[in-house]
Structure formats: structure tokens, C-alpha cells
Amino acid sequence: MEKHSGITSYYQFTDEGSGTPIILLYGLFGSAKNFLPLREHLKKKYRVIVPVFPFFQTGTKADIFSFTEYLHAIITTLNLTKFHLLGNSMGGHIAILYTLKYPEKIESLILSGSSGLYEHGLGDTYPRRGDYEYIKTKTQLTFYKPEIATKELVDEIYSIVNSRKALQIVSLAKSTIRNNVEAELHKIDCPSCLIWGMNDTITPPDVAVSFQQFLPKADLYWIDECGHVPMLERPAEFNSALDTFFQLNGFV
């Protein structure tokens, strides 16, 4: 049974299942919905927690460092001592920063389409407000199969870009681009898992290869005919890769 809990009016998250905790972090234009197939799969064996980031709330400091601390506030309130941390896109970048700051808490680090080295994203320049076709095209480029970018998803992103939230998008994107973690990745000593779309155009395959090179204990799993959000576009393959990683590292 899914539980929606709030630490305060500011901190929000979903919490379901039981067992070893695994925290899922989505990216700039993502939401907890990106993880629906993965959540259904994981909650059979794990406690699955998805923080709801206040990316676009008025008065919120919009950078990846403040959201790393937002994540820590949730973890502290839930009294979590050891857990798996999984992040997609900007969520992966936040996961890396958290692992570097609190390494004693991390069982494993799982990254998919993570920023932190370099990326090509929708938010890397000021979004074209009012240009629906531009937003539609950029959203479709997130996936190998453009039809995954439903009208509902495009409308949601278009609404964000054409609101007062647009400046926060740029602020968040710039904080991501300016923070390159390459020189620090060697400090991450926990088992790491990279699950990457072979057709990712935002964080291309060579980004995954670089992450594997710089992370001391990294396994890399490729998913063919797949873009930037593998857990949503190819959920069966993503779940299988994650299961294999957990089994090989004795986490089951």
C-alpha cells in the first residue's frame, strides 16, 4: 500500500513496500511517475522511497546542492542508516553529491543517464517560451521512440516552461553544468551500477563509459533502442539489469 507522507509542508515523498530502503531520484523535468514500473517491481522486496523535489516552488533556492540537503533532511527524518540510492538524469547528479558527502550511508549507487560529467538538455539554455513544437521536439528527443513523449507529458513540460518557473529551470541547469564531479568520483567506494540507453542523446553512451572509468567499483549495463529514461522507456530491461547487479553484489 502506497503511503504519501510529508515531513513538513516543505518536505514531501512517497514511501511504500518493506525491506532494505532504496531511494529513487528523478531529473529536472521528471516526476515520481517516471518510476512507476520500477516502483511496482522493487516494492515486492524493498522499501521504496521517492522524494518529491520542490524544483519549482516559489522561494526555493534552485541548485543541486540545496536539493542534496533537501534529500538529507528526508533521510534524517526517516532515520535511514543504510540504503541504495538510484538517480536518473539530474537525480543521478544529486545521488553522486550525496554519496560523496555521506558515503557511510550508501549500500550502492545506481545511475542512469546521470549528469555530472556533461549533458545536452532541454534546460541548458533559456527555454523557448510559447513555442510548443520546440518543447515537443526536445521532449521527444529524450526517448528512442518519440511516441513515449505523450501529449500529457509535453503539455506538462510546456506549462512549466511558460510559467514563472522558467528562471528556476535555467538556474538548476546551470548549477548542474557548472558542477563537474569527475575529479571526485574515485572517492566513491561502494558498488556502483550504470544502466544506460544506447541511444541516449542527452547523456550519450560515452558519458556512461567515462563514469565506469572513474568510479572504482562500477558495472555498466546497456539497453538497446533506449534513450535518456530507461526505467520508463524499457522497464523490463531496466529491472532485469538492476536485479542482476543486486544479485552479483549479494544484495538479495
What is the per-residue pLDDT across 18-40, written as a single tens digit (0 to 9) for each? 999 999 999 887 888 899 999 99
Domain annotation covers residue 172: no
First to last CA, the chain: 22
Q: What does the alpha-carbon distance between residue 232 and residue 37 come to, in Å, rounded to a whole number?
A: 7
Domain annotation covers residue 222: yes
Cβ neighbours for 146, distance < 8 A, ≥ 6 positions apart? 140
Domain annotation covers residue 141: no
Is the pLDDT at 127 greater than 80? The verdict is no
The confidence score (pLDDT) of residue 60 equals 58
Q: What does the alpha-carbon distance between residue 223 and residue 242 come to, in Å, rounded to a whole number?
A: 12
Domain annotation covers residue 105: yes
Supply 157's cell numbers: 513540460
Is the pLDDT at 129 greater than 70? The verdict is no
CB 23 within 8 A of CB 83: yes
Closest CA to 83 of 132, 17, 149, 147: 17
Is the pLDDT at 4 greater than 50? The verdict is no
Question: pLDDT confidence of 244, banded at 50, 70, 90?
Answer: very high
pLDDT in tens, 153-163: 888 777 777 76
Q: How far is CA 8 from CA 14, 32, 72, 249, in A?
A: 14, 19, 14, 36
Q: φ and ψ at 31, to 5 degrees? A: -160, 175
Domain annotation covers residue 157: no
The confidence score (pLDDT) of residue 56 equals 60
Domain annotation covers residue 150: no
| Domain residue limits at 228 | 3-121+177-248
- For residue 223, the surrounding DSSP H or E stretch is strand 218-223
Amino acid at 77: T
Question: pLDDT confidence of 111, banded at 50, 70, 90?
Answer: very high
Domain annotation covers residue 133: no
Closest CA to 38 of 217, 171, 236: 236
Q: What is the CATH number of the domain that holds 63?
A: 3.40.50.1820
Total tally of structural domains belonging to the chain:
1
Q: Look at strands 83-88 and 47-51 and give their pairing.
A: unpaired
Per-residue pLDDT, averaged over 244-248, amounts to: 97
Question: pLDDT confidence of 164, banded at 50, 70, 90?
Answer: low
* Stated pTM of the model: 0.87
- Cβ neighbours, 10 Å, residue 154: 18
Burial class from Cβ neighbours inside 10 Å (0-12, 13-18, 19+) for residue 191 reads: buried
Instruction: State the Rg of the chain over Cα.
Output: 17
Q: What does the alpha-carbon distance between residue 113 and residue 54 come to, in Å, rounded to a whole number?
A: 21
Domain annotation covers residue 162: no
